[in-house]
Amino acid sequence: MLERPDAEFRRIWGHGTLVILPPADVAAVVDELRRRHDPSSAAIIGAHITLTQPFLSAPAADDLARVEEIVATTEPFTMRWGPLSTFLPYPCIHFEIHPAEPVHRLRGALHALGFFNTVLPYSGDDFIPHMTIAEGSADADETRRLYDDLRDAVPSGTFPCTAVTYCAPDADFRFQPRATFPLGDAPA
């Protein structure tokens, strides 16, 4: 049986967040790894790169229009996913995301809007863009063993980052895309 998010997780993340979604071919690879190695998290949200902390409250149409304005000021860029890495001793296996600078710049501009819960850990310069495979479902030793098994067996690559997506949980607390905002002059 899959674990359901606890009340505190639901309270914090209940209004959703902004993410970068990889294209379908990359998502298929990452989602398969997530289903196999962290089915509880995979059931909540598919492959993604968390861009912002969660919204403090449900964003109004005007709030989302301001998000769209900020996102449009960033030109599309190419992201590299991989290599595989960990946040040990915290039990998390993830794909590194590079370059980090455009992600940090966009995150900072969005957080400056005041819509996001920036009192949470990793709200500032300590945030590391990543795409999670498994998180918190094993101890550090198990995480190290899984990382050692996977690190040379998983692909990596690049994809164009052309949009930011607002994802929020549905009634079953599964995050769903609610709105997509193109970067710069990327097509909608």
> What does the pLDDT look like over 107-121, one tens digit per residue?
999 999 999 999 998
Q: Which domain holds residue 128?
A: 33-170
How far apart are the C-alpha atoms of 63 and 70, rounded to whole Å?
Answer: 11
Q: Tell me if 16 is assigned to some domain.
A: no
Q: Tell me if 18 is assigned to some domain.
A: no
Look up the pTM and report it: 0.93
**pLDDT one-digit tens code per residue, 49-94:** 999 999 999 999 999 999 999 999 999 999 999 999 999 998 899 9
Q: Which residues contact 109 (CB under 8 A, 6 or more apart)?
A: 70, 73, 74
pLDDT of residue 111: 97
CATH number at residue 57: 3.90.1140.10
Q: Tell me if 147 is assigned to some domain.
A: yes
Q: Tell me if 150 is assigned to some domain.
A: yes
Q: Tell me if 71 is assigned to some domain.
A: yes
Structurally, the chain folds into a number of domains equal to 1
Q: Tell me if 5 is assigned to some domain.
A: no
Q: Tell me if 11 is assigned to some domain.
A: no
Contact criterion met (CB below 8 Å) for 122 and 69: no
